[in-house]
Structure 1
Amino acid sequence: MITKIIVLAIYVAILFLIGIIASRRVKSMSDYYVGGKNMGFWAVAFSARATGESGWLLIGLTGMGAMAGYSAYWVVIGELLGVFISWQFMAKRFKRLSDGYKAITIPDYLESHFKSSTNSLRIISASALVIFVVIYVASQMDVTGIAFESMLDIDYRIGALIGFVIVLIYIFIGGFVAAVWSDMFQGILMFLGLVLLPIVVWFSMDHGTGITEGLNAIDPSLTQIMGKSDDGLMNLFTLLGFSMIGLGFLGSPQVYVRFMSIKNEKEIDKGKWVALLFTLFTDAAAVTIGILARIYFTTEGQDPEVVLGNGGEDVLSMMTHEFLPTILVAIFIAIVLSAIMSTIDSLLIIASSAITRDFYQKIFRPDLKDEDLTNLSRIVTVIMALAALGIAILLYNLYPDRQVFWIMIFGWSGIAATFCPVIILSLFWKGYSEKGAIASMITGFMSVILFKFVVIDIEGIGIYLKELDVLAPSFALAMIAGYIVSKIFPTKNNDSTLLEAEEKCEE
């Protein structure tokens, strides 16, 4: 226990040091929110991927690999495709437009793009951000508590509180720069830990049988890459649900604010390969860890939920304690915290900017100075973090059998379905209007809630849509709503700034 605490103390000290160094670069509101738009490709790529992955990669996806077997690799395929499309086709266009508008937040970008004469678009986008960000951050704090409980035998509530304090301190000090630099440090830890663990486990296991043979001995359905069910339609919806998680990379604010912050377009070309390799190796490794755990810890007829925890959430803890010495177990605890913290910091800064800049300054106090806004942002960050911590502890007490993977995906889906269709259509369709954007956001926001709590209970189709999950249908409906409303209420003539920015995109 002492070794683990020492390693964690070193990890926390490094984060605080990053925050202190980063604070020296925070001289304006742009520095606090987007690092002065001067970040390098290594930092942005690692930060974007670490933020996009979160604690679900280490706790959720490893568990999914154990429960689903080979079919869980569809998550890897979906994420790779989403990351590739985002960096290859969207990042440069978004960077040019956001720079042309001098935008430092996503609502900034949307209001400038549509030349909005009212605050409707800003209010709706900022409100959606705050609601789903708090839910998503709560799920990350939930995983923090689980990690401390399963890997350190520390009470869940104390663990969640420790994680809350750590991330809040270095965000409070250094803002976006601290978040990106710490994400890079944490992303490197995640990459090395996830890639090396299955290699160590494989060489430590008895190789009397191969992986496929081992899974078949437990449950032959685990080796079915096209799904475990005898119902072909059920398998189709399940695999779509896994692979469509990658849709969330096509415009989610916590990822796209990184594209705002990057130095120039050449850095995007370099960062693309870093992001793709990170995604391929870490996601595939996470699923593989879960599969190896299923072979090692369970036998035919055993309930994996009993052995490996609800949704397989204990997989990583069991594997590290079984195969690694204490010092490496301690490092893995830091890696789990890295995955969680790298998402929490980014989300809190984005939600803080939504309240302080997009609500307070832009609507009520346009005369407010940048330095006053930065201080207010820090206060708002603390309040939202407290709200998320409260929700996490409430979930722990009310729903002890909750599945971490799908709670995280709900928060992720809410953000993605609200913003991704709007970002996509704004980048590639000149006919997209402000009213269409508002329709997309409202439809995506409401559809996530509708599919999660209403549609899945409909007899006949509910069981299929439950496997599909909420993101894909909500995403599709938001795109359709945006198209229809834009045709009914076409866009007005764009101003010279918009036209100039769009012309640059086409060159």
Structure 2
Amino acid sequence: MILKYTILFLYFSILFLIGYFATKRIRNTKDYYVGGKNLGYWVVAFSARATGESAWLLLGLTGLGAMVGVSAFWVVLGEVLGVTVSWFFMAERFKKLSDKYNSITIPDYLVSHFKSTSHTLRIVAATALSLFVVIYVSAQIDATGSAFETFLGWNYFTGAIVGFIIVLTYIFSGGFVAVAWSDLFQGLIMLLGLVALPIVAYFSISSSVSVSDELLKLDPSFLNIWGEGGFNMVNLFTILGFTFIGLGFMGSPQLFIRFMSIKSTAEIKKGRWVAIIFTLLTDSCAVLIGIFGRYLLTSVDADVEAILGNGAQNVLPLLVERVMPLTLIGIYIAAVLSAIMSTIDSLLVVASSAISRDYYQQIFKPNKTERELAKTSRLITLVLAILALLIAIIVAVSVPGRTIFWFVIFGWSGIAATFCPTIILSLFWKGFNEKGALASMIAGFISVPIFKFGMTSIEGIGIFFEKVGELGPSFILAMSVGVIVSLISRTKTQKIDY
């Protein structure tokens, strides 16, 4: 136990040091929000991927792999496709435009792009972003409490509060620079931990044992890429739901703010392969951890429910304790916390920038000095973080059977459905206008809870909406609404580029 705490002490000390040195580079709000738009491709690529994965990767996707087997690789496919599209086809366009507009937030970019003369677009964008960020951050805080509880035997609420305090400390000191550099450090820990564990697990299995045969005994559908029952309509919608998760990489503000922060488009060309390889390795290994964990843990432990219950989100820590030497367990605690904290810090900076700049400065207090605005940003960060902590605690008390995978996906879906269709259309269609953007964001914002809680309860077809998830349908609806409203509201002089 002393060794675990020693490793964690070193891990947190490095984060605090990053925050301390980052303060030396913070001179204005541009530095605080986007690192002065001068970050290199290694930092940006790792920061984008660490932020995009979160606790969902180490606890949620590993658990999904243990629950459904190889069909979880559809998630990997969706994520790799989403990352590829964003880095190859969207990043350079977005970087050039955001630099042209001198934007430092996503609402900044949208207002400048559509030459908006009112504050409506800015208010809608900032409101939607703030709401879903709080939900997303609350899911990460929930995962923090679970991680401390599982690995160290702490009380859940103590763990959640400790993690909350640590993240706030280095965000307050260094802003986006601290976030990006800490993400690089945390991303490396995640990558090494995820790649090493399935390799060690594989070689810990006796060579005389056929893992595939044993897995089929445990669950005949485990190695079927289509899932239980083979190819059918329900499984098709399930697979689509897994794949649609990758849509969130194509315009979500917490990820695209990284493209604003990179120093040049030349760095994007270098960073794209780092991001894609990182995604392929970490996601594939997460699924393999779930698969090997299912075999190694359920073949020796009669209490299968203890392993597979609650979305099997404890499969990674249980497998680590089974196959890894004691000296490395502390590293895996740090890896899980890295996935969580790298997402919390990024989301809080993005949301606080939206409120402090897009609400407070641009609408109410345009004459505020840089120093005054920086103080306001830190205060708003604190308020948002406390709100997210309260939501996490309330959910933990009222929904004891929740799973991290779907809790995170709801927040992820809300941000993605609201912003991704709008960002995509703004980059590729000159006929897309401000009214279309507003309609698209509102449609995406509203449709996520409708598809999550409303459509799933309809008798007969509800099962299909439950399996496909809320992101895909909401994304398609928001995209369609944006196109239709733009076509209806366009002026005669407006050029429509199909």
- What amino acid does structure 1 have at the position aligned with 2:134? V
Structure 2 counterparts to residues 251-266 of structure 1, below 5 A:
251-266=251-266
Distance 1:301 1:243, change over 3 A: farther
**Aligned position for 1:164:** 164
- What amino acid does structure 1 have at the position aligned with 2:242? F
Structure 2 counterparts to residues 64-213 of structure 1, below 5 A:
64-213=64-213
Structure 2 counterparts to residues 2-401 of structure 1, below 5 A:
2-229=2-229, 232-299=232-299, 304-401=304-401
Per-residue deviation, 1:212: 2.1
Distance 1:339 1:300, change over 3 A: closer
Partner SS state of residue 390, structure 1:
helix
Would the aligned equivalents of 1:60 and 1:313 in 2 still touch at CA under 8 Å? Answer: yes
Distance 1:493 1:29, change over 3 A: farther
In the alignment, the residues of structure 1 paired with residue 326 and residue 462 of structure 2 have an alpha-carbon distance, to the nearest angstrom, of 46
- What amino acid does structure 2 have at the position aligned with 1:68? V
Would the aligned equivalents of 2:297 and 2:319 in 1 still touch at CA under 8 Å? Answer: no
In the alignment, the residues of structure 2 paired with residue 248 and residue 138 of structure 1 have an alpha-carbon distance, to the nearest angstrom, of 18
Would the aligned equivalents of 1:218 and 1:300 in 2 still touch at CA under 8 Å? Answer: no
Q: What do the CA deviations read for 1:326-381 (whole angstroms, capped 9, x no partner)?
A: 22111100110000000000000000011100000000011111121111101111
**What is the alpha-carbon root mean square deviation over aligned residues?**
1.6
In the alignment, the residues of structure 2 paired with residue 427 and residue 479 of structure 1 have an alpha-carbon distance, to the nearest angstrom, of 13
Unaligned segments of structure 1, at least 5 residues: 500-507
**Aligned position for 1:486:** 486
Would the aligned equivalents of 1:133 and 1:415 in 2 still touch at CA under 8 Å? Answer: yes
Would the aligned equivalents of 2:224 and 2:230 in 1 still touch at CA under 8 Å? Answer: no
**Aligned position for 1:458:** 458
Per-residue deviation, 1:208: 2.6
- What amino acid does structure 1 have at the position aligned with 2:8? L
- What amino acid does structure 1 have at the position aligned with 2:282? T
In the alignment, the residues of structure 2 paired with residue 158 and residue 309 of structure 1 have an alpha-carbon distance, to the nearest angstrom, of 23
Would the aligned equivalents of 1:64 and 1:290 in 2 still touch at CA under 8 Å? Answer: yes
In the alignment, the residues of structure 2 paired with residue 62 and residue 335 of structure 1 have an alpha-carbon distance, to the nearest angstrom, of 13
| Count of residue pairs the alignment pairs up | 496
Distance 1:304 1:428, change over 3 A: farther
Q: What do the CA deviations read for 1:409-445 (whole angstroms, capped 9, x no partner)?
A: 0000000000000000000000001000000000001
**TM-score relative to the length of structure 2:** 0.97
In the alignment, the residues of structure 2 paired with residue 3 and residue 493 of structure 1 have an alpha-carbon distance, to the nearest angstrom, of 69
Partner SS state of residue 431, structure 1:
coil
- What amino acid does structure 2 have at the position aligned with 1:351? A
- What amino acid does structure 2 have at the position aligned with 1:450? I
- What amino acid does structure 2 have at the position aligned with 1:14? I
In the alignment, the residues of structure 2 paired with residue 127 and residue 303 of structure 1 have an alpha-carbon distance, to the nearest angstrom, of 45
Would the aligned equivalents of 2:55 and 2:404 in 1 still touch at CA under 8 Å? Answer: no
Per-residue deviation, 1:207: 2.9
Per-residue deviation, 1:246: 0.2
In the alignment, the residues of structure 2 paired with residue 43 and residue 81 of structure 1 have an alpha-carbon distance, to the nearest angstrom, of 21
- What amino acid does structure 1 have at the position aligned with 2:412? W
Q: Percent identity?
A: 58
Per-residue deviation, 1:213: 1.8
In the alignment, the residues of structure 1 paired with residue 371 and residue 468 of structure 2 have an alpha-carbon distance, to the nearest angstrom, of 46
In the alignment, the residues of structure 2 paired with residue 368 and residue 315 of structure 1 have an alpha-carbon distance, to the nearest angstrom, of 50
Distance 1:230 1:81, change over 3 A: closer
Per-residue deviation, 1:211: 3.4
Per-residue deviation, 1:255: 0.3
In the alignment, the residues of structure 1 paired with residue 493 and residue 390 of structure 2 have an alpha-carbon distance, to the nearest angstrom, of 46
Per-residue deviation, 1:305: 4.0
Per-residue deviation, 1:214: 2.4
In the alignment, the residues of structure 1 paired with residue 77 and residue 376 of structure 2 have an alpha-carbon distance, to the nearest angstrom, of 41
In the alignment, the residues of structure 2 paired with residue 330 and residue 66 of structure 1 have an alpha-carbon distance, to the nearest angstrom, of 23
**Aligned position for 1:424:** 424
- What amino acid does structure 2 have at the position aligned with 1:258? R
Partner SS state of residue 472, structure 1:
helix
Distance 1:153 1:430, change over 3 A: same
Partner SS state of residue 346, structure 2:
helix
Q: What do the CA deviations read for 1:149-180 (whole angstroms, capped 9, x no partner)?
A: 01110010000011101100000000000000
In the alignment, the residues of structure 1 paired with residue 18 and residue 82 of structure 2 have an alpha-carbon distance, to the nearest angstrom, of 30
**TM-score relative to the length of structure 1:** 0.96
Would the aligned equivalents of 1:433 and 1:492 in 2 still touch at CA under 8 Å? Answer: no
In the alignment, the residues of structure 1 paired with residue 424 and residue 158 of structure 2 have an alpha-carbon distance, to the nearest angstrom, of 41
In the alignment, the residues of structure 1 paired with residue 3 and residue 125 of structure 2 have an alpha-carbon distance, to the nearest angstrom, of 45
Per-residue deviation, 1:301: 12
Distance 1:301 1:330, change over 3 A: closer
Would the aligned equivalents of 2:81 and 2:246 in 1 still touch at CA under 8 Å? Answer: yes
Partner SS state of residue 118, structure 1:
coil
In the alignment, the residues of structure 2 paired with residue 155 and residue 184 of structure 1 have an alpha-carbon distance, to the nearest angstrom, of 29
In the alignment, the residues of structure 2 paired with residue 156 and residue 487 of structure 1 have an alpha-carbon distance, to the nearest angstrom, of 51
Would the aligned equivalents of 1:434 and 1:491 in 2 still touch at CA under 8 Å? Answer: no
In the alignment, the residues of structure 2 paired with residue 124 and residue 493 of structure 1 have an alpha-carbon distance, to the nearest angstrom, of 27
Partner SS state of residue 221, structure 2:
helix
Per-residue deviation, 1:405: 0.2
Partner SS state of residue 149, structure 1:
helix
Structure 2 counterparts to residues 487-502 of structure 1, below 5 A:
487-490=487-490
- What amino acid does structure 2 have at the position aligned with 1:76? V
- What amino acid does structure 2 have at the position aligned with 1:360? Y
In the alignment, the residues of structure 2 paired with residue 215 and residue 151 of structure 1 have an alpha-carbon distance, to the nearest angstrom, of 27
